[in-house]
Structure 1
Amino acid sequence: MLTPLPAEDWDDHAREALAGTVPLERRNADDVGNALATLVRHPELAGRFLPFNTYLQKSSRLPGRIRELVILRTAHHHGCGYEWGHHAVIARRLGLADEDLIAAQSGFAADEFDQVVLHAVDELHSGSRICPATWTALGERLDDQQRMDLMFTVGGYGTLALALNTFDVQLEADAGNEELYTEMGS
């Protein structure tokens, strides 16, 4: 649907949209990746959305492991191979095992708290809210700000998945392992 912005069309507006998200030396068509190179087709929107997305990825109060479970479950719900491919790699760097990635797809985790987290994502996806019992169960390990970050991570990455899927953004050949996602059946 939309391809990454060609190198010859990059201008100061496209590069400026990535400020605060991408180091200066990578703000170009060859080094930024397909998702960001596509989003900069609308520099004003990208310049406003990407700082929020960067907050969710790098500054959120959610523990990294929980954040990646949330993102992976959200990617699974949306069938977003691009998100899955990149975040499976990040999740593994944070110590998540194949069993955790399988849980993010199936919705069934061996760890009791991971199960609560996956259930919260499912509730947000299917009913647009976390029910009081799940909110309370999340509160056993997460404070109010972390639970808020969890909700906004589902929303932010859900929005990104909608865009990536609609624009048909392709996972880079050297990026994450979409094969695992495909093999596990979605």
Structure 2
Amino acid sequence: MRLPYIADPPPTSTPDEAEILARVQARRAPNGILPLDRALLYSYPVADGWNSFIGAIRTKSSLTTVIRELVICRVAVLNGALFEWEQHAPLLTQGGLGDAALKVVGDAGADITAKVTEEVLSVAEGAVLRYTDAITKTVRVPDEVFEAVKERFNDREVVEITTTAAAYNCVSRFLVALDVGEKNH
């Protein structure tokens, strides 16, 4: 990483910091904190907000594991966030996405429409990948791309797909900029 990691366990100097650290550790249990946490904990308030926001996206949304992790993994690929990919691709596989579909997600230049036609991806998965691509690459989502997602997901799910893509664009940019996990430089 481009900065030294905070010690593990991280030192705390106030009761507020100790509470924040306990929340981060609780979300990561039973595996312990990640290098990402050891970078974020330079700023306890930022780590706390991050933990709460990303924790909600990861554990409190109504999205299926496949849809959530499809978005996260695609953002990782498009932004070159290898640490993020390594953390989330196994979750996508565990969620039930097949190997051929995982290869499509991992290929930033894949023809999503062709892979839906070939039934490597479902229509819903293809719509989510095109939507994630638009959010990540250009920010603006063409109407037809939005409508394809809106036809297959309810309003809450559309918001959760959108916030997942937005949040993990933030995550990937942090990971790549600081080279968290030593994967990007």
TM-score of the superposed pair, with normalisation by structure 1: 0.81
1:16 aligns with 2:5: no
**1:4 shift after superposition:** 2.0
Question: Any gaps of 5 or more consecutive residues in structure 1?
Answer: 172-177, 179-186
1:23 counterpart SS class: helix
Contact 1:14 1:41 in 2 (8 A): no
**1:18 shift after superposition:** 4.0
* Distance in 2, Cα, partners of 1:25 & 1:75: 20
**1:164 shift after superposition:** 0.9
Letter in 1 for 2:85: W
| Counterpart pick for 1:167 among 171, 178, 181 | 178
**1:113 shift after superposition:** 2.1
**1:130 shift after superposition:** 2.2
Contact 1:75 1:81 in 2 (8 A): yes
Aligned length: 170
* Distance in 2, Cα, partners of 1:13 & 1:94: 36
CA RMSD in angstroms comes to: 2.4
- CA gap 1:19/1:7 in 2 versus in 1, 3 angstroms: closer
Q: Which moved more, 1:47-56 or 1:30-39?
A: 30-39
The residue that corresponds to 2:78 in the other structure is 77
- CA gap 1:33/1:142 in 2 versus in 1, 3 angstroms: same
Contact 2:25 2:32 in 1 (8 A): no
| Counterpart pick for 1:122 among 118, 127, 133 | 133
**1:114 shift after superposition:** 1.4
Contact 2:150 2:158 in 1 (8 A): yes
The residue that corresponds to 1:156 in the other structure is 167
- CA gap 1:60/1:18 in 2 versus in 1, 3 angstroms: farther
**1:154 shift after superposition:** 0.9
The residue that corresponds to 2:142 in the other structure is 131
Contact 1:4 1:37 in 2 (8 A): yes
TM-score of the superposed pair, with normalisation by structure 2: 0.81
**1:90 shift after superposition:** 1.1
Identity rate, percent: 23
**1:117 shift after superposition:** 1.0
**1:61 shift after superposition:** 2.0
* Distance in 1, Cα, partners of 2:29 & 2:69: 24
* Distance in 2, Cα, partners of 1:79 & 1:168: 11
Question: Any gaps of 5 or more consecutive residues in structure 2?
Answer: none
